[in-house]
Amino acid sequence: MKPKAGNTRAQLIEAAYKVLAEKGYENSSVKDIAREAGVSPGLVHYHFANKEDLLVSVVKEAANEYCQQMRKLRKTVAEDKLADAALAESLERIKSNADWYKLRYELYVLGLRNPAIQSGVKELIARGREGIEETIQAVAGKTLPNGAEMSAILFACFEGLALQSFVDSEFDLEGAYQFLGQMVEQFLQSQSERERT
């Protein structure tokens, strides 16, 4: 995440991302975030209601960037290569940006306990499922009758596989992704066969 010059809100989100990723939600303070951004704590409160609001904004911004990457992928990769490219992108994100996932997991837990941020979690998950469904439809070349259900399952798979890789150093993430790719391919083939009959 790279803030534009002069954009204090974006600067605070970038600083919060760094601090929250390094210290975790519970061990981070608004003062820590303000210090990282080089601003006064009052400016943080001017732009965000509280630390929870800032965390939601951090994760939403990271999700926006990921959605933009996936849109670009859908525009630049041929349909017959898109499923593999999308899975490879997701796998690479887990390997290269573990902090993003860890912040998401913290947000999920906070959303379960804190009604004030539950709507942000709901929106984040909905956007993730929508992005996956758009990719599935692009791969299939059409709208699938159960694309929403498949996207919900894939969202759960992506989140769960990432979590397993973070807590179990021996977990075969690449093997799991390879098998997941085969499952997606079988799903898409079954949809095509169903249409022909």
Over its length of 197 residues, how does the chain's per-residue pLDDT go in tens digits? 554 445 899 999 999 988 988 898 889 999 999 999 999 999 999 999 988 888 888 888 877 887 888 889 889 998 889 999 999 999 999 999 888 888 889 889 988 988 878 888 888 899 889 999 999 999 888 888 889 999 999 999 999 999 999 999 999 999 999 999 999 999 888 887 777 76
In sequence order, what are the residues at sequence separation of 6 or more whose Cβ sits closer than 8 angstroms to the Cβ of residue 38? 11
DSSP-derived secondary structure for 132-181: HHHHHHHHHTS--TTHHHHHHHHHHHHHHHHHHHHH-TT--HHHHHHHHH
- Please name which of 163, 65, 53 lies closest in space to residue 111, comparing C-alpha atoms: 53
How much is the pLDDT for 3? 47
How much is the pLDDT for 197? 66
How much is the pLDDT for 5? 45
Query: pTM of the prediction?
Result: 0.84
How much is the pLDDT for 39? 94
Angle, to 10 degrees, between the axis of helix 98-113 and the axis of helix 8-23? 90
| Interior/surface letters 141-171, b for 16+ CB within 10 angstroms, e for the rest | eeebeebeebbbbbbebbbebbbebeeeeee
How much is the pLDDT for 6? 59
In sequence order, what are the residues at sequence separation of 6 or more whose Cβ sits closer than 8 angstroms to the Cβ of residue 18? 36
How much is the pLDDT for 107? 85
Under DSSP, is residue 148 helix (H, G, I), strand (E, B) or coil?
helix
How much is the pLDDT for 48? 94
Q: Which domains does the chain have, with CATH numbers?
A: 1-48 (1.10.10.60), 59-196 (1.10.357.10)
**Side-chain-side CA neighbours of residue 38 (13 Å):** 6
How much is the pLDDT for 142? 87
